[in-house]
Amino acid sequence: MNYRHAFHAGNHTEVFKHAALTLILEHLLQKPASFAVLDTHGGIGTYDLFSEEAMRTNERDAGVNRVFGKTLSSAPMYLKTLEALNGQSLRVYPGSPELVRHALRENDRLIVCELHPEDGSLLKERYRKDRRISVHQRDGYEAVGAMLPPLERRGLVFIDPPFELKGETDQIATALQAGFRKWATGIYAVWYPIKDAVLGDRIAAAAIGAGFNNVLRAEFCPYQRDGVTLAGSGLVICNPPWRIDERFQRLCQELTAVLGGKRSSWSVEPAPRP
């Protein structure tokens, strides 16, 4: 539990991941029936981009700084949330719990887990007055098996781990297996960093091995993959919403012009079955 997200808030992987998350939330909002989101690795909710940690890395310069104040027609909710938190001057970056909070209606729910003691306490304090949000200081992987299915019977499990442990992909596989047994119809989105193709291949295989028939894999890389550099990131999505692939394609096309240019690469395609 040494990973501290504050050093990386707003970087290029965050822009893709969080913009994509808002596209799934927009899909859930299309129906009047309430939904629930289980966020397995919540962090602290929001991040100060002028904190000592963020200023030390300046990763926001190649990420959110390039989209804030611009037009991102493929992901309007993402920019709308940034503007709601910041007004005209960017300082606060929303993590996944805050993005979900802004999307929740009166009867929707967010269940968010954070195992890090200090971050978990900050998250509880941040959302203690919002009855739609429950914060649990517990292992998010274990929560997938323990806290599903939600009463709403529709919604999303968002798995966004730090990948600081060697067995992280095994934990993801176990969580997806538990999720399929408990709530086979839910949407599951697993984020992963990209340095090469190995990690994404393993997670996609784990999703198919868990039993999900419909698995989408979306990747966006502003930089070339060399096995060392953080080239970009991806999402493996189980039970993807109808036509979400088209929206991801438009997002990747738009981000190519803003974040990477000619050196960018992206793909949105069904995960191959063995």
Question: Which residues, including other chains, have CB under 8 Å from residue 217's CB and lie 6 or more apart?
Answer: 200, 204, 234, 235, 236, 237, 267, 268, 269, 270, 271
First to last CA, the chain: 34
The helix/strand/coil state of 171 is helix
170 included as an active-site residue? no
Which pair of tokens denotes residue 4? 């501290």
Give CA 235 to chain center in angstroms. 8
On the question of a cis peptide bond just before residue 149, with omega within 30 degrees of 0, the verdict is: yes
Question: Which run of H or E residues covers position 145?
Answer: helix 140-146
d(CA 225, CA 147): 37
**C-beta separation of 260 from 223 below 8 A:** yes
d(CA 40, CA 151): 18
The one catalytic residue among 160, 170, 201, 245: 160
The residue type at 184: A
Active site residues: 160
